[in-house]
C-alpha cells in the first residue's frame, strides 16, 4: 500500500531537521523559549509552501500552521496533525551528527568508540526486532532529536503524498508545528480556534503501534525550606538546619512511589532537584497519577507533610508552591472514541497492531484536549529519547507517515459510508 511513497525524501528532511539546534529553555519567559527555534520554524514554513500546502504561516510565538484543502465535496470533519520541533534541554542537542546503519545485523552498535558508548541489545532488547532494518542513531555526543522531528518529517511527507495523489479522497486537513513542548508549554499559545479542526493527532509517540489517549495528571511543586544559621559550637536549641529538614521531608513519602519503582498506571512523587545550605534549601518535585482522585490525594498529602514539619516551629519554615501542569486527556477523549477507532482501523489496514497504553508523561495533546481539541498521541517511531542512545528505525517512520495518509483517507470514508 502506497508503494511509491518517497521514504528517502522523508529521511533527507529528517536529517536536515535534526542538525538544527532547537533546544527549548525552561528558564526563559519568551515564546519560543529560545531564539534558535526560529531557524527550524522558518525552514518548516518554507518546506510546507514548497510542497503546495496553503494558508502557511508562522505566528508571533513561533507556531507554524498550514492547510491541505479537501479534495471531496462530501461534508468531512476537519482533522489535524501536530508535532513539536523543539528538543529537550536535559541533554546536549547542539552539533547533532546522525549516523545511518543500513541492514542492522542485530548486534552491538558502537556509537562512540572514544567514550565506549555502545547501543546494545543486551541492554536495549527491543533492538533485536529491528534486525535487517536501517537505523538512524546519534554519534554518542548528543541526542538525536527524533522526539519530535521524526513526527515533523512524517507529517510533511504524508501531506506531500496526499497532494501528489488526489485520487485519495480526504477532507480539509490542518497541520501545526510548535515550540516548547519539552518544557511543558507546547500548547500554551496554540490557537485552537484558528486551527479549526474537530480533532487532531500528535505524532509524538515512540514505538510502532502506540496509540495513547491516557496520560498522567501532573503537578509541579517547589519546596523552600528556611533554616537558621548559628555557629555550630553554640547551636543547641538555636540552629535550624534546612538540609536536615529537607531530608525529613523527602523521607515522608512512600519509598516505592518513585519513577524507578513504578510502571503502568502507578503514580509517583519525583524529586527533580535539591540545592541547599544550612540556611535555605530548595527542592523541586513533580507529582503524577492517572486517577484524578488519587492525584488530588497525593497533592493533599504533599502539603500535609509540610504542615507537619511547620507545626513544630513558631512560624512556618517550609513553604510549598504547587501548580497543576496538565490533566489526563481520557476524560476528553472518551466522549469522542471514534477518533481512536479511526486510528485503530487505519493501523490494522496497514498491518500494524495497535498498542493502546497510557502515557507515563504528558503530551501537547493532553493540554490541547482540555482546550477543546481532542488530541490523542500516535507513534512517530523513535526510541530511547532524550539521550545519546536515541535512535529511530527508518521503516517505523515510513509506517507513521503512511498511517497519517490512511487516517485522512478513512476519516473521509467513514463520513461517506
Q: Which residues are catalytic?
A: 86, 181
**Beta 210-212 vs 377-379: how paired, if at all?**
antiparallel
C-alpha cell at 330: 481520557
Tell me how far apart the alpha carbons of residues 181 and 187 are, in angstroms, rounded to a whole number: 7
> Would you give the end-to-end CA distance of the chain in angstroms?
21
Contact (CB, 8 A) for 159 and 173: yes
Cell readout for 20 is 538544527
300: number of Cβ within 10 Å: 9
Contact predicate 154/400, CB 8 Å:
yes
CA 114 to chain centre: 31
Using CA atoms, how far apart are residues 303 and 295, in angstroms rounded to an integer? Answer: 13
C-alpha grid cell for residue 285? 518535585
Cell of 413: 470514508
Q: How far, in Å, CA of 229 to CA of 167, rounded?
A: 76
Which residues neighbour 394 within 8 Å (Cβ) at sequence distance 6 or greater? 7, 11, 133, 134, 135, 136
Taking each helix axis as running N to C, give the angle between helix 338-349 and helix 394-416, from 0 to 180 degrees, rounded to the nearest 10.
120
Structural contact between residues 287 and 190, judged by C-beta atoms closer than 8 angstroms: no
Amino acid at each position: 500500500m502506497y508503494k511509491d511513497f518517497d521514504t528517502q525524501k522523508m529521511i533527507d528532511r529528517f536529517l536536515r531537521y535534526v542538525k538544527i539546534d532547537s533546544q527549548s529553555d525552561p528558564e526563559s519567559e519568551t515564546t519560543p523559549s529560545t531564539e534558535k527555534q526560529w531557524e527550524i520554524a522558518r525552514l518548516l514554513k518554507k518546506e510546507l509552501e514548497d510542497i503546495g500546502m496553503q494558508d502557511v504561516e508562522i505566528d508571533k510565538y513561533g507556531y507554524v500552521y498550514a492547510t491541505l484543502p479537501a479534495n471531496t465535496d462530501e461534508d468531512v470533519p476537519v482533522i489535524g496533525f501536530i508535532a513539536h520541533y523543539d528538543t529537550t534541554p536535559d541533554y546536549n542537542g547542539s552539533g547533532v551528527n546522525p549516523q545511518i546503519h543500513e541492514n542492522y545485523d542485530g548486534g552491538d552498535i558502537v556509537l562512540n568508540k572514544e567514550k565506549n558508548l555502545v547501543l546494545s541489545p543486551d541492554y536495549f532488547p527491543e533492538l533485536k526486532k529491528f534486525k535487517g532494518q536501517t537505523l538512524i542513531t546519534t554519534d554518542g555526543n548528543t541526542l538525536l532529536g527524533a522526539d519530535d522531528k521524526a513526527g515533523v518529517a512524517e507529517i510533511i511527507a504524508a501531506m506531500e503524498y496526499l497532494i501528489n495523489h488526489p485520487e485519495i479522497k480526504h477532507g480539509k486537513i490542518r497541520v501545526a508545528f510548535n515550540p516548547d513542548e519539552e518544557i511543558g508549554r507546547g500548547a500554551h499559545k496554540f490557537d485552537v480556534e484558528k486551527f479549526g479542526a474537530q480533532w487532531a493527532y500528535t505524532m509524538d509517540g515512540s514505538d510502532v503501534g502506540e496509540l495513547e489517549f491516557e496520560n498522567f495528571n501532573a503537578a509541579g511543586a517547589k519546596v523552600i525550606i528556611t533554616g537558621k544559621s548559628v555557629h555550630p559550637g553554640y547551636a543547641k536549641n538555636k540552629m535550624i538546619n534546612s538540609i536536615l529538614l529537607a531530608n525529613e521531608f523527602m523521607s515522608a513519602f512512600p519509598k516505592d512511589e518513585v519513577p524507578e519503582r513504578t510502571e503502568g498506571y502507578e503514580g509517583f512523587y519525583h524529586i527533580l532537584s535539591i540545592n541547599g545550605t544550612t540556611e535555605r534549601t530548595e527542592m523541586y518535585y513533580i507529582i503524577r497519577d492517572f486517577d484524578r482522585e488519587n492525584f488530588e490525594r497525593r497533592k493533599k498529602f504533599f502539603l500535609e507533610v509540610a504542615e507537619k514539619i511547620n507545626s513544630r516551629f513558631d512560624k512556618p519554615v517550609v513553604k510549598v508552591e504547587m501548580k497543576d501542569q496538565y490533566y489526563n486527556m481520557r476524560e476528553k477523549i472518551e466522549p469522542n472514541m471514534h477518533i481512536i477507532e479511526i486510528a485503530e482501523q487505519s493501523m490494522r489496514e496497514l498491518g500494524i497492531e495497535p498498542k493502546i497504553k497510557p502515557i507515563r508523561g504528558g503530551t501537547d495533546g493532553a493540554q490541547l484536549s482540555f482546550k477543546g481539541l481532542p488530541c490523542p498521541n500516535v507513534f512517530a517511531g523513535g526510541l530511547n529519547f532524550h539521550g545519546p542512545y536515541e535512535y529511530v528505525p527508518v521503516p517505523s517512520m515510513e509506517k507513521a507517515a503512511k498511517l497519517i495518509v490512511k487516517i485522512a483517507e478513512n476519516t473521509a470514508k467513514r463520513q461517506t459510508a
